[in-house]
Amino acid sequence: MSIRRLTTCVAQGCLATLMAACSSAQTMTDATFTHPKDSVAVPASRAIALVGASVVSMRNDAVVDGQTIVVRDRRIVALGAEGSVAVPADAFVVDARGSFVMPGLVDMHVHSAIRDAALYVPHGITTVRNLWGFPGLTTYARRVLDEDLRAPTIVTVSPGLDAHPATWPYTRFIDHELDARDTVSTVLAEGWPALKIYDRLTRPAYDSILAIARGRGVRVLGHVPFMVPIQHALASGQHEIEHLTGYEQAVGTRGEIAAHNWAAVDDRRFPALVSATVAAGTWNCPTLAIISEIFRQRWPAERDLAVRNRRRFVKALHDGGARLLVGTDSGIDIVPAGSAIHTELEEFVAAGLTPYQVLRLATYSAAENLQALNDIGTVDVGRRADLLVLDANPLADITNVRRLRGVVLRGTWLPKRVLD
């Protein structure tokens, strides 16, 4: 289902049906607790203790063995060496000896967060950021938290700001810079916390949006429009860039406004762009896996070279100290929601990052970007209890993140059999 079909479904009232079905699917009874421990879902209303775990906190690359983690009321309330931490008498105890516990993954670029809600958690994603707002999304995001639905916590941004013709439903149009103030004011009045910008904005319209956003203290993220040079976007304070848009014009030697410019680059141009990105404090969400798939579909002869060059540029950004994020762009029917996160993690490793460096991007860095480091991103007392329990060390091999024994989702224990 495409975003266009999804939004048609929403308009026809399918959203209420979907949410009701999701809600009913979460119902658990006391009879649940008669099953073996690795086939039982334990709600957040009950304390949970993970005993004997090897903890990968993501504050650094250390693995601390023999730890007990106590979760109550959706939070980590105790963490320490086994035997030194009191396990509450009413706690549901998970024997985590031989298992590795790390923070839940954050997919920082998804679409169709409602349609795909059930697909994320079984792959270790406990938070998603929806990158194109649409009606009903904020209501559903509140329901996820209020009713403890088995869906990730949803963060969102505005519908896209763009010029005609429309690319996606619910686009807010700014065809002239004089349209910017009224349109931005309307979008912000609707409660969207950040502004998404898109491809066809003129440079004057782009400048107007950035100026208004600065005055309102609002972040601007999205594509670098075709008519805006990447150097101008960085100097203007665009908070975050998706898909490395704009960079391909600066590093490519063909002079084209097209992603397949990545097949012909001058890597002598990398250092100046990396330095400008670091100086601007701009984040990048490269979405490596989906762009690789798009290259395969559209430019198969150039795919390998383009993919390799994008990886090299991402490595240069990382080594230079630029801020990076992990996102899949799932929900537009090119890569699968949920499982694509693992392909994306593996793409970063193929670019030359270590498993720890990549996983830190998908946890700690995501929390930093979302201004939520006191809530998610590390295994620490006081953090929201979003945890992955793995059968193997994720720092030894990035594919070990696929080896889920279970997920703690906002304090609810969901073992693999339940997730499956």
133 and 280 inside one domain? yes
- With a cut of 70, which residues of the chain have pLDDT below it? 1-37, 257
Compute how many other C-beta atoms are within 10 angstroms of the C-beta atom of residue 403.
18
301 and 326 inside one domain? yes
pLDDT at 101: 98
**Cis preceding-peptide flag for 165 (omega within 30 of 0):** yes
324 and 405 inside one domain? no
- Please name which of 21, 3, 45 lies closest in space to residue 137, comparing C-alpha atoms: 3
Residue 337 covered by a domain: yes
pLDDT at 349: 98
pLDDT at 37: 61
**Number of separate domains in the chain:** 2
280 and 394 inside one domain? no
307 and 322 inside one domain? yes
Give the C-alpha separation, 157 to 49, whole Å. Answer: 35
Beta strands in 86-124 (DSSP E): 92-95, 100-103, 105-110
Give the C-alpha separation, 18 to 41, whole Å. Answer: 22
394 and 356 inside one domain? no
285 and 333 inside one domain? yes
Residues constituting the chain: 420
Residue 145 covered by a domain: yes
pLDDT tens, 17-63? 333 333 333 322 222 233 356 778 999 999 999 999 999 999 999 99
Contact 12, 54 (CB under 8 A): no
Residue 148 covered by a domain: yes
Residue 8 covered by a domain: no
pLDDT at 39: 75
Residue 352 covered by a domain: yes
Residue 6 covered by a domain: no
Helix axes 270-280, 303-320, angle to 10 degrees: 50
pLDDT at 40: 83
CATH code of residue 145: 3.20.20.140
293 and 352 inside one domain? yes
CATH code of residue 97: 2.30.40.10
Residue 30 covered by a domain: no
Contact 101, 69 (CB under 8 A): yes
Structural domain range at position 49: 35-103+379-419
90 and 111 inside one domain? no
pLDDT at 159: 98
134 and 66 inside one domain? no
Residue 342 covered by a domain: yes
pLDDT at 252: 94
259 and 390 inside one domain? no
pLDDT tens, 224-234? 999 999 999 99
Angle at 149 between CA 378 and CA 419, to 5 degrees: 75
